[in-house]
Chain A
């Protein structure tokens, strides 16, 4: 009893102090032990929450898992009336919109990070970095609102007809210009994930040791050559991690996408066509799910989304850690 209490003083402090004198400390060790218990309970709450979340999702998805098995992942029929459910249109929509978003966001995000970490004059950096943070702080529903009333009409009247005329021979740019659809979703997603890619890439670049830069500069390289040859090469895996974190965000993003993607469960090749994502089908149909199997199918889609995003995030964090850049910027 006494020895464990002494042990407690040393451990909970996180210090390498010699243990306190046991006899004097005995009466106050009760407080310390209770406090340590409280702290440990708070830590364990996080653990229980995540385990509970996973268990609840699996239990909720069970009826659909039993009813459809692996067919759920290869069927493209979504018919709530006949209770035939397949996830293909949603998986396709999520992947396509996220890839489209990355296609736009990666060059811009990494470019902005290079500018902020390497090439910009010192006085430019703090205000611009702050503005990038604000881009990340805009609520999803506001992006959706902007997407419906500004972006979609813009695409419908100007961008899509122009694209159809010039690149219309590609199946990607065929079909009537609705405005809302895959293209709108990809653009809104790109706007939303780009600040994450910029912020994390910037952290990664700032974590690259200065000796790398100095060595390149000493050899007569220009700022850009230094960035390309020394800094980017050193931070490559971290930047890939930053991109994957952006991908994780894009995959799970719900509201803005739901508002602009058109919500039609179809696999269409054209970017002009409406689509549907895993997150938006849950958002739209969860409260309308009339049967248990319907609800369960929606939860299974949620489970699928959970597994994919957790895998992408875990990989991303490993990559960013490998550069030694703190993933501090990733708070959302």
Chain B
């Protein structure tokens, strides 16, 4: 038998590490509790349907910011997803010698670039030539952040598609491009959707790259080449303002934002249940 001392140490360490795990999760529970406590009262129909009220008037909502966030994420997805998925297929299927290795490395590099730097990039790329802040610039910034996530997850999933499927299709004389589009991608669909949703959840909460691209807007946006509101920007503006009513709205906005992000994350998790769970 093991001496008692060693067994005691074993138990103590199990408890200590369990405590550490608890400490990692604790902030989530605290933040969620506070959001519900502070924000739930301000989330009502007005919040979803009304514009922000001028300073001094209570009430109003963040309808423009919610729509703005959806527009921004939608545009970013429209730019980033096709390139990202095709890029992932390229990395998984290509037998080019050097380029895939370089692209894979650079995608990882891009993944680690701080989002504020991506904001500067979108500023010099879009805002300076257009000479104004715009929804389009914000979408470009978000697309750049999405791209590496989608590329790398798509690559991993496409690699998981058994080559027997490809071989069977090729053996029937089906051209390669059709094999990829009609056999490989449909097989990998669930996993790719997961990657897409992870990327969407990530950029939906981004604030920093929107500060000097989408810029924010207290009213409805009229056109996509003009500044647009976004939920994270609105939360920031309300959080650092000195009005109590705005603070309550900031909590409400945070509750809505976190709800959106969690629902998408949860859906991403459920989408992979079954076929690809356990396989990595």
Chain A residues engaging chain B, CB cutoff 8 angstroms: 8-15, 17, 20, 24-25, 28-29, 31-32, 34-36, 38-47, 49-50, 52-53, 56-57, 59-60, 107-112, 114-116, 119-120, 128, 130-135, 137-146, 148-150, 191, 194-195, 198, 220, 222-225, 227, 245, 248, 251-255, 259, 279, 282-283, 286-287, 298-299, 302, 305-306, 309-310, 312-314, 317, 326-328, 330-332
Contacts and interface: CB of A to CB of B under 8 A. Distances in A.
Given A32-B176, A52-B125, A141-B205, A12 B94 contact: yes
A40 B125 contact: no
Contacts of B211: 283, 286-287
A135 B239 contact: no
A138 B112 contact: no
Nearest to B258: A142
Contacts of A120: 17-18, 21
Contacts of B108: 313, 317, 327
B114 A305 contact: yes
Contacts of A310: 109, 112-113
Interface stretch (B46-54, B55-63, B84-92, B217-225): B84-92
The 5 closest A-B pairs by CB, nearest first: A139-B205, A252-B114, A111-B20, A35-B177, A313-B112
Given A39-B86, A132-B24, A255 B208 contact: yes
Contacts of B31: 138, 142-143, 146
Contacts of A32: 175-177
B202 interface: yes
A9 B257 CA distance: 47
Interface string B34-48: 110010000000000
Contact of B21 (A42, A52, A111, A220): A111
Given A46-B147, A255-B208, A310-B112, A135 B10 contact: no
A61 to B, nearest CB: 10
A50 B239 contact: no
B20 A112 contact: yes
Contacts of A220: 2
Interface of B: 2, 6-7, 9-10, 13-14, 16-21, 23-25, 27-28, 30-31, 34-35, 38, 82-84, 86-87, 89-96, 99-100, 102-103, 106-121, 123-125, 144, 147-149, 151-153, 156, 163, 166-167, 170, 173, 175-180, 195, 198, 201-202, 204-208, 211-212, 215, 232, 235-236, 239-240, 247, 250-251, 254, 257-258, 261-262, 265, 269, 280
Nearest to A110: B20
Contact of B13 (A36, A119, A132): A119
A20 B179 CA distance: 15
B124 to A, nearest CB: 5
Given A139-B261, A282-B119, 9 more contacts: A39-B90, A40-B90, A46-B83, A47-B102, A59-B124, A120-B17, A138-B28, A305-B116, A331-B198
Nearest to A253: B114
Nearest to A51: B106
- Dominant SS at the A interface? helix
Contacts of B23: 108, 112
Contacts of B84: 42
B21 A145 contact: no
A309 B113 contact: yes
B238 to A, nearest CB: 9
B29 to A, nearest CB: 9
Given A108-B23, A119-B13, A139 B232 contact: yes
B177 A49 contact: no
Contacts of A309: 112-114, 117
Given A60-B124, A283-B116, A12 B95 contact: yes
A32 B16 CA distance: 58
A325 B20 CA distance: 22
Quick one: which of B30, B177, B262 has the most chain A CB within 10 A? B177
Nearest to B144: A49
A239 to B, nearest CB: 14
Contacts of A119: 13-14, 17-18
B166 A254 contact: no
A332 B109 CA distance: 12
Contact of B115 (A109, A115, A252): A252
15 contacts: A14-B94, A14-B95, A15-B170, A34-B177, A42-B82, A42-B86, A53-B144, A137-B261, A138-B205, A141-B254, A222-B2, A255-B207, A305-B117, A313-B112, A317-B108
Contacts of B205: 137-142
Contacts of A38: 86
B198 to A, nearest CB: 6
B157 to A, nearest CB: 11
Given A119-B14, A306-B117, A15 B269 contact: no
Contacts of B102: 47
B257 A139 contact: yes
A187 to B, nearest CB: 9
B177 A14 contact: no
Contact of B116 (A43, A282, A331): A282
A223 B112 CA distance: 35
A59 B280 CA distance: 41
B170 A53 contact: no
Nearest to B265: A137
A260 to B, nearest CB: 11
A39 to B, nearest CB: 4
